[in-house]
Amino acid sequence: MESTGTLTRADLAEEMHREIGLSRADSARIIEQLLTHMCEALSNGQNVKISGFGSFVLRDKGERVGRNPKTGVEVPIAPRRVLTFRASQMMRDRILATN
C-alpha cells in the first residue's frame, strides 16, 4: 500500500487482492458492495458498528441559536441529522501506539 496520506477504495481492493488472492475485479466489487451496504444502512437510520474498528452513529441535533462570529448577529440553526464516527478502543490503542 502506498503511503500517500489517504487510503482509497482502490487501495483497499488492492490490499484484498494481495492478502486474500481474489482477482482485482472481485476485490473492487466486494469493497463497493460493502460501502454501498453501509451507506444504505445509514440512510435508513441504522448505526453501523464494525468490531475492532469503530461505530458510525447518526445523531439528531435540535434547533439552536448560533452567532455569526464576524458580525455577532444571532441566527437560528435548523435541526439536522449528523453522522459521527467513534473509534473503538482497540483502534485508538493502535493509533496512539504508532505515534
pLDDT tens across 5-58, in order? 899 999 999 999 999 999 999 999 999 999 999 999 999 999 999 999 999 999
Cα–Cα separations (whole angstroms), residue 77 to 70, 83, 95: 16, 17, 35
Closest CA to 16 of 35, 1, 36: 1
pLDDT band at 3 (very low <50, low <70, confident <90, very high): low
Closest CA to 10 of 73, 81, 25, 99: 25
pLDDT at 1 over 50: no
Structure pTM? 0.74
Cell numbers describing residue 98 = 504508532
The confidence score (pLDDT) of residue 4 equals 61
Alpha carbons 20 and 11: distance in angstroms, whole number: 14
The confidence score (pLDDT) of residue 82 equals 95
